[in-house]
Amino acid sequence: MNDSYTWPSISFRAMGSDFGLWLDADPVLAGGAFDRAVAMIDTLEKRMSRFIAASELTQLNESNGRPAAVSPGLYEVVRRAVEMARQTRGFFDPTLLDDLSRVGYDRSLDRLEPDGGALPAPIPNRVRRGWEGIDFSPDPPTITLPEGVRLDLGGIGKGYTAQVIANFLGEYGPCLVNAGGDIVAGEAPDGYAGWPVTVAAPLHGLDSPEGDILGLWLRNAALATSGVDRRRWLRAGQTYHHLIDPLTGLPASSGLITVSVLHEDGPHAEALATAALVAGVAEGIDLIEAAGAGGLLVTDEGHYHLAGAMRQDGLWQLPVVGVQDEDGVAYYEY
């Protein structure tokens, strides 16, 4: 992205997303670490993907209310997901897979038809707050899903992966991991206050600097973004997206288009970002600040709000934004 930086890095596709790894270390050492990290990501994808028929998650989702023996890794990420559901008062909900499939996201995005036709009928007696009934038994790790409850770990899984890989690469030196927009940083690279990262404006890609909203030096922290500006598809001429409101079972319509969260932990940041996006501006800021995190919330009218740690100095005040309307509210035009 920037040729002036000389840190060894690697970029690739995994989990249906763009991944990037950076390591402030000798290039030969970094190359070996990257090889192992890529293999770890492949293992994590085969464990947590709902699109892989033989994945551990698929097998768990087919357990139909029976106890299922799982790996310690899957046990951990499901336990974290349920913990985040509780902490966000259910705005983050990992048990919405059936709702997501019903609105059309029943296969990986690159396999969806241009317009999948009319939606099937609503799910009768739809289970709400299914996460409350999940049972955990640690030794050996066993998870029991209530009947009719199936898990989607798509979002939190990437935050979890970014954290696991950052922990691994951190053994070799200062590192940075970007797992489809969910970023986790280790120690700062030599000579810098942190890793220079930005939050991309809605609809902007990884390589469009004109779309940066703000930047910060990230060190021993995570920065995750959830949004409804991507993973969209058509059904019967209507656009849908992948962030489901647990109350309605339909794509969330909270007035927010993206939420970015700064937190010390990758999966926590990702789940908080999703919860805040579903909850809307007021409750979203409340959730973020109650967790001691920082947030950047962008509305579908182009206004943005800073919450918690994001309010502090140290953010780059990027010149491409900072526009203010007549009420003095900063906004970004996209």
Partner 1 sequence: MATKPRQHGEAKRIGLIKASLILGSLIASLLGVRMLVDQEVAPPAVVAANGENLQAAPVAPSQVQVAPVAPSQVQISPVIPRQVPMAPVTRSRSS
176 near partner 1, judged by CB under 8 A: yes
Give the separation between CA 279 and CA 288, rounded to whole angstroms: 11
- Separation between Cα atoms, residue 119 and residue 102, nearest integer Å: 7
The interface region with partner 1, picked from 36-44, 53-61, 311-319, 325-333 by CB under 8 A, is 311-319
- Give the CA distances from residue 139 to residues 58, 70, 142, 145, 306, in Å, rounded to whole numbers and listed in that order: 21, 11, 7, 17, 43
Close Cβ partners of 13 (under 8 Å, ≥ 6 residues apart): 19
Q: How far is the CB of 71 from partner 1 (least distance, A)?
A: 25
Residue 158 touching partner 1 (CB under 8 A) = yes
- What part of residues 242-281 is at the interface with partner 1 (CB under 8 A)? 258, 260, 262-264
Binding test (CB under 8 A) with partner 1, winner from 141, 173, 227, 284: 227
Q: Which of 104, 157, 194, 251 binds partner 1 (CB under 8 A)?
A: 194
Quick one: 39 or 203, whose CB is closer to partner 1? 203
User: Closest Cα to residue 331, out of 302, 290, 309?
Assistant: 302
- Identify which range of 35-43, 66-74, 141-149, 173-181 contacts partner 1 by CB under 8 A: 173-181
Decide: is 299 part of the binding site for partner 1 (CB under 8 A). Answer: no
> End-to-end distance of the chain based on CA atoms, in angstroms?
22
Quick check: 223 binds partner 1 (CB under 8 A)? yes
Longest dimension (CA), the chain: 60
CA angle 36, 38, 41 (to 5 degrees): 110
Q: For residue 333, what are the CA distances in angstroms to 157, 220, 256, 296?
A: 31, 31, 14, 15
User: Is 279 strand, coil or helix?
Assistant: helix
Does residue 197 belong to the site contacting partner 1 (CB under 8 A)? yes
Is 200 a binding residue for partner 1 by CB under 8 A? The answer is yes
Q: Which is nearer to partner 1, 130 or 202 (CB)?
A: 202
Instruction: Indicate whether 322 belongs to the interface with partner 1 (CB under 8 A).
Output: no
Contact call for residue 287 and partner 1 (CB under 8 A):
no
Helical axes 154-169 vs 27-48, angle rounded to 10°: 150
Site residues for partner 1 per CB under 8 A? 1-2, 4-5, 7, 17-18, 20, 22, 158, 176, 178, 180-183, 188, 192-200, 202, 204-206, 209, 212, 215-221, 223-231, 258, 260, 262-264, 292-294, 309-310, 312-316
